[in-house]
Structure 1
Amino acid sequence: MVVRKAKFFILAFLFLFAVTLLNGTALTYAKDFSVEVDGRQLVSGASLLSEQGRIMVPVRVLGEALGLKVRWYGDERMVILQKGDLLLKLTVGSRVAEKNDGKVFMDVAPKIANGRCFVPLRFVAQTFGCQVRWDQEKQLADVKSGMVKEISLGTLSPLEPMNILNDLGAWYRMNHFGFTHVQLVQYDPQLHIVPCLAEKWEVSPDGKAVTFYLVKDARWHDGEPVTAEDVKFTFEYKLKHLKELARWTVAAIEKIEVADAHTVTFYLKEPLVYSLFKDLAIGIGIILPKHIWEDVNDPKNYTARENLIGCGPFIFESYDPASQTATFKANHDYFAGQPSVEKVKVKYYKNVDALVMALKKGEIAATYDYAMPIPASYAPALEGTPGLDLGVISDLGIMIYMAFGREYPVTEKAFREAVSYAIDYEMLVKAVAGDYGEVPGRGIVPPSLPAYDPALPRLTQDLAKANALLDQIGLKDKDGDGIRELPDGSKLRIPVTPATKKGKETMMVRAAEVICSHLKKVGIDAYIDPEVLGNEEKWQQRVWNDRDYWIYLGYATPGAVIYDGGLMYFVDAQGAFGTCADPEYVRIYQKVRQARNDSEWTAALREAQHYHARELPGLALIWGKALYPYRTDEFTGWAIRSGFGPVNYQTWFALRSR
């Protein structure tokens, strides 16, 4: 028995000696050290290693304490740690780590000891936004994760009905960038397409097919696995039941094939993969659980609690109709790691005044909606509020644009030119946007977009040119009453239809008032369309469905401008909802949609800008800044996404309590 024990200890010693040789240095157990995370002891003594003054801890123990997703690849002796879209790759024996494909260097390399992988505590913790303090007296490494226990947000989009596919409701709009539901891909803060539910993909050479490879450990909130069948079902189901998708690239999907549980291929009718990715990265692209939705034939009226089951970083917990507040909890089993916020409350506000007051009082930390910045007119009320950042960012959208309808005389280029010269843009900007707007150029596309062409001139007022152009096409004031007449002798009366979406109506009506006053100065009796005032449903029907307007004042969302430069608001073509059917314009628009990369897209969009400058199918009226205020007195780490503000997928993993 003694001999057998001696042999065992000798073999064990030789094994450990071999391991230390492979790793290059001797292993020292930090018997007198301990580690705490947020006040709770993590490991101590024999569960810690020390090398070159650096404490090393078991990677899985540390990962779970920090809410990281830990994936071990034994054949490669590599571990991947993930929190949101931040990935850290560590290889045993190497001091070189990969952080989102960029190389970073560690003081010490990961080690294997007693069958466990040990990693440097400070390096990993700080990489994922934690603070690490060494207490010499206690021989204690004190890690503070900064986990946010609860945050309250405000929205102007209704929480009733509770339906994830109602594109006017808060449930859908909150998921444009990942909340209860996520997409195959998403935008990073610089608006590059990055992985989400799909960890990688392959695009066919002809740009008409793309194969997605899903992460293998994603689960729905009810515990069922997420599979390629769910992805296939999602888009076939949406194309069958949601008619509005006909406006987008997903309508070009010809078929979807599933190769295995985690591999799915989209085949398109046209070479539109580049544009498809832009659709898949926003609300249109959220994936649905087949086992929940396959028997639902009226999706927009499906309000059972199960319709809110997703696979995203947050799980729906409750809704209080009295306070109109929804509560969500962190998904601790999220495939990309646990979010840094334990609980989110979202409250509905009836108007911008109430929302702004809640921000000032600190009742909410930020607003949560899609493409709904606080109107610039509220900036003076918010400026100087302690602990509040105005969140001023370049607006990737178009604050206000003008589109022309299909009726004479707005179909005449000379008339559109006259309208463009009649407007006092500096006065309009001052009246509507104050210091947060600028006079736009003739090419529509805002300077915040890389495809912007600075060579095109800015719009200017010239009343003499406006009057001359109107005279030239026979629209003259024959009776001297200050209003021009049409060829049939009737007065030149033109309705101006403003967008009356909640949260936008006040700004749009104010702009319409200014525009009407300017057009009257050149003999156009312009007036605000009374039928859409206070009637969001009528506005949507008139503009998006019937396209029954003469002059329309709208706003371009950042998502639309990223997709096609905002052309969809002006062109009458597949995937758009404008009124200009000029074959040349349609051809250019298709070039934008069928671009295969950034350079082709930029070139096509430059061509579109020159067409706009020449033919004026529509005008940008104000380019501006977007205001997305957020509290800085309680929270830090807001991830400001270009064009969209501070509340987004990245923020859920980066936010910290002060």
Structure 2
Amino acid sequence: MYWRDILIALVLTIIILTAGCTGQTEDTDGLVLRIASPMEVKSQSVFGDDNLGVFYSISSPTLYRMNSDGRNVGFLARNCTVSDDKRVWTFYIEKDYYWTDGSKVTPEDIAFSIQTFGEQLPSARWIGDTLENVTFDDECITFTFTKPYNNLDFELGYPIISKKDWEGVADLYQYTSPGPYTGSGPFYLDSIDHLAGVLTFKRNPYWKGEIPAIDRIEVHTYRTIDAATLALERGDVDTYYNYADSYPYSGIESLNATGSFDFIETTDVGGIFLGMNLKKAPTNDLKFRKAIAYAIDYKEIVKIDALGYGEVPNYGFVPPTMEFYKDTPPLTYDPERAKKLLDAAGYIDSNNNNWREGKDGKELNLNILIQSDYTRVAELITDYFKQIGVKTTINTVDRNTWINLKFNYNYDLTVTKTTPWEMYIHANYGTGFFDSRRTTQDSLHYLDDPVFLDLCDKMLNSTDPATQREYAYQIQDYYAENLPGIALYWKKNVIPYNKALSGWEMDPLFGIFSVENFVSVHRVGA
């Protein structure tokens, strides 16, 4: 009996150790990829729940997609043509895409999708406002707009849905279903258990492209980042995903110590920046903006907020990961120069109380509007500005309040971030953040300088790469000379993954959560 008990204990120990070494990728149904995410899904509406919409994107491909090199390439469409006036766009449709019920994806599905989104989705209202006509045959679909669009292949980045499944849905936002959802990608959304926090994707049996090694994807969503990172440290999942964000820098060392994970490290297309309200004094004064740019210790912000996982940015705002990046001068920390520039611009401390006054003679007190994610950076900004005699007050609010106050210009400064998507929209290069004609939830829409608006329009109306490069350089020069926003750091994206898996690809827009990546990932040695 004694030796039998020892033998059983040894067998159990071997089983446990073996499970710990291989992670959570083995399943009776084949290779299962498990992903932890703090992007909590609160409903079963793929269009009404923002986080669920991000996950749903791999189930229903778009006309075009961005590849790992940052270039827009055909997806459901193999290519497109555009008229000289940029109003008429024709997309030629690939013939080998099939829905999970075995039927073909057709131009009619695409026409239905784009028109329905234009009618029902706030983010696609521009389509409903400017789409004049749609025609299609078996080979292609043509959209005619009332105004020109330069990068419509990117702007039409909406998931194409099946007409026969969705045409009876009166309100996309209100429609909910636990699944399955018909899809045309290599995986389709099979089930949504938002109460348990689990989304399940299964392989599309009619997928004609490269066959994935993964048989099933499970996304385990958590209410907090800490809960998601703990799932990795326990070995419950294989990787981590948070749209437009890195694995928490503070958790990298402890996760690395488990010995079960490697890391992908890339420079993000987005970054953290300081927005300055150009609609009111003193931030509408270029001399003031140039002065405070010298007051910021960019290296310290990278060290403290990003724990070293970032880069000191340039005056040109745009990170080096974007095509046609121009190497403008780097931002530098020089508080003494900041003081001299403020003095010369008329922002002085006349009563020697260590606080400067504005040109109206009143003591400056800049309102820094932030959401709680940016508290640490805002506190650093407050300390830096105190050293040059500029008083600040931090106003921390929730997202909806931030949007409302920002929309009505009730702030002086704001610390926020650019996502990859936001860097590419409009005329690219973050122009959608600043152009006063674009009043979206995240845009600052305070720049109405005709010179800048003209640059945006020229970029939007250009299709020649050489001309686009020239306009891209001019936009970055404009940022460097006029400082509508100050990049605080270009951040690194650090993504952990199970060492038992290989073949990881990083999408500039969606990181690891892309078709290209999920088709590529496989077991080591397979």
TM-score w.r.t. structure 2 length?
Answer: 0.86
Find out whether 1:342 has 2:215 as its counterpart: yes
Alignment match of 1:187 (pick from 58, 61, 66): 66
Structure 2 letter corresponding to 1:260:
D
Find out whether 1:573 has 2:440 as its counterpart: no
The percent of aligned pairs where both chains have the same amino acid is 27
Moved more, 390-399 or 477-486: 477-486
Alignment match of 1:640 (pick from 494, 499, 506): 506
Q: Is the 8 A contact 2:30 2:214 kept in 1?
A: yes
Residue aligning to 1:630:
497
Structure 2 letter corresponding to 1:646:
I
Structure 2 letter corresponding to 1:320:
D
Specify the structure having the higher radius of gyration (Cα).
1
* SS in structure 2 of the partner of residue 350 of structure 1: coil
Residue aligning to 1:542:
405
User: How much has 1:428 moved relative to structure 2?
Assistant: 1.5
Find out whether 1:172 has 2:69 as its counterpart: no
Name the CA shift for 1:590/1:378 in 2 (closer, same or farther; >3 Å). farther
Name the CA shift for 1:537/1:221 in 2 (closer, same or farther; >3 Å). farther
- Matches of 1:512 and 1:251 in 2, distance apart? 39
Structure 2 letter corresponding to 1:639:
E
Find out whether 1:404 has 2:271 as its counterpart: no
Residue aligning to 2:377:
511
Residue aligning to 2:192:
319
Provide the aligned C-alpha RMSD in A.
2.6
User: How much has 1:256 moved relative to structure 2?
Assistant: 4.0
User: How much has 1:346 moved relative to structure 2?
Assistant: 0.7
Cα deviation, 1:343-368, whole Å, max 9, x if unaligned, reads: 11111122222222222222221223
User: How much has 1:596 moved relative to structure 2?
Assistant: 0.6
Find out whether 1:461 has 2:330 as its counterpart: no
**Superposition map of 1:162-241 within 5 A:** 162-166=44-48, 168-169=50-51, 171-175=52-56, 178-241=57-120
- Matches of 1:296 and 1:465 in 2, distance apart? 61
Structure 1 letter corresponding to 2:415:
L
Residue aligning to 2:12:
none
Alignment match of 1:652 (pick from 507, 518, 521): 518
User: How much has 1:620 moved relative to structure 2?
Assistant: 0.8
- Matches of 1:608 and 1:495 in 2, distance apart? 28
Residue aligning to 1:267:
144
Q: Is the 8 A contact 2:240 2:496 kept in 1?
A: yes
Alignment match of 2:135 (pick from 258, 261, 264): 258
Residue aligning to 2:454:
587
- Matches of 2:30 and 2:382 in 1, distance apart? 49
Name the CA shift for 1:409/1:295 in 2 (closer, same or farther; >3 Å). farther
- Matches of 1:238 and 1:291 in 2, distance apart? 15
Residue aligning to 2:33:
151
Name the CA shift for 1:451/1:217 in 2 (closer, same or farther; >3 Å). closer
User: How much has 1:585 moved relative to structure 2?
Assistant: 1.0
Residue aligning to 1:555:
417
Structure 1 letter corresponding to 2:489:
I
User: How much has 1:153 moved relative to structure 2?
Assistant: 0.6
User: How much has 1:335 moved relative to structure 2?
Assistant: 4.2
User: How much has 1:293 moved relative to structure 2?
Assistant: 3.3
- Matches of 2:169 and 2:243 in 1, distance apart? 26
Q: Is the 8 A contact 1:189 1:639 kept in 2?
A: yes
User: How much has 1:575 moved relative to structure 2?
Assistant: 7.6
Structure 1 letter corresponding to 2:370:
P
Moved more, 284-293 or 412-421: 284-293
- Matches of 2:277 and 2:128 in 1, distance apart? 26
Name the CA shift for 1:271/1:149 in 2 (closer, same or farther; >3 Å). same
User: How much has 1:264 moved relative to structure 2?
Assistant: 0.6
User: How much has 1:582 moved relative to structure 2?
Assistant: 0.7
Find out whether 1:310 has 2:191 as its counterpart: no
Q: Is the 8 A contact 1:446 1:452 kept in 2?
A: yes
Q: Is the 8 A contact 2:179 2:190 kept in 1?
A: no
- Matches of 1:628 and 1:598 in 2, distance apart? 32
User: How much has 1:420 moved relative to structure 2?
Assistant: 0.7
- Matches of 1:403 and 1:294 in 2, distance apart? 45
- Matches of 1:606 and 1:381 in 2, distance apart? 42
Question: Any gaps of 5 or more consecutive residues in structure 2?
Answer: 1-28
User: How much has 1:487 moved relative to structure 2?
Assistant: 4.7
User: How much has 1:315 moved relative to structure 2?
Assistant: 2.5
User: How much has 1:439 moved relative to structure 2?
Assistant: 1.5
Name the CA shift for 1:627/1:353 in 2 (closer, same or farther; >3 Å). same
User: Which gives a bigger RCO, structure 1 or 2 (Cα 8 Å, sep 6+)?
Assistant: 2
Structure 1 letter corresponding to 2:143:
F
Structure 1 letter corresponding to 2:163:
K
**Superposition map of 1:290-301 within 5 A:** 290-301=163-174
* SS in structure 2 of the partner of residue 285 of structure 1: coil
Residue aligning to 2:15:
none
Q: Is the 8 A contact 2:36 2:240 kept in 1?
A: yes
- Matches of 1:379 and 1:499 in 2, distance apart? 24
Name the CA shift for 1:301/1:644 in 2 (closer, same or farther; >3 Å). closer
Structure 2 letter corresponding to 1:279:
E
Q: Is the 8 A contact 1:157 1:348 kept in 2?
A: yes
Name the CA shift for 1:308/1:482 in 2 (closer, same or farther; >3 Å). farther
Structure 1 letter corresponding to 2:350:
K
Q: Is the 8 A contact 1:637 1:656 kept in 2?
A: yes
Alignment match of 2:159 (pick from 277, 286, 295): 286
* SS in structure 1 of the partner of residue 404 of structure 2: helix
Residue aligning to 1:619:
486
Residue aligning to 1:601:
468
Cα deviation, 1:385-421, whole Å, max 9, x if unaligned, reads: 4131221112222244434342221111112112212
Structure 2 letter corresponding to 1:199:
R
Q: Is the 8 A contact 1:272 1:595 kept in 2?
A: no
**Superposition map of 1:415-494 within 5 A:** 415-454=288-327, 456-494=328-366
Alignment match of 1:526 (pick from 392, 397, 411): 392
- Matches of 1:461 and 1:198 in 2, distance apart? 48
Q: Is the 8 A contact 1:387 1:631 kept in 2?
A: yes
Structure 1 letter corresponding to 2:436:
D
Residue aligning to 1:382:
255
- Matches of 2:345 and 2:245 in 1, distance apart? 40
Cα deviation, 1:560-583, whole Å, max 9, x if unaligned, reads: 324411122222124873211111
- Matches of 1:452 and 1:597 in 2, distance apart? 17
Residue aligning to 1:108:
none
Q: Is the 8 A contact 2:61 2:76 kept in 1?
A: yes
Work out the number of aligned pairs and report it: 491
User: How much has 1:253 moved relative to structure 2?
Assistant: 4.7
Moved more, 300-309 or 343-352: 300-309
- Matches of 1:638 and 1:445 in 2, distance apart? 26
* SS in structure 1 of the partner of residue 115 of structure 2: helix
Name the CA shift for 1:618/1:232 in 2 (closer, same or farther; >3 Å). same
Name the CA shift for 1:586/1:540 in 2 (closer, same or farther; >3 Å). same
- Matches of 1:571 and 1:631 in 2, distance apart? 42
User: How much has 1:205 moved relative to structure 2?
Assistant: 4.1
TM-score w.r.t. structure 1 length?
Answer: 0.69
User: How much has 1:306 moved relative to structure 2?
Assistant: 6.2
- Matches of 1:349 and 1:277 in 2, distance apart? 34
User: How much has 1:265 moved relative to structure 2?
Assistant: 0.6
User: How much has 1:468 moved relative to structure 2?
Assistant: 3.0
Structure 1 letter corresponding to 2:149:
L
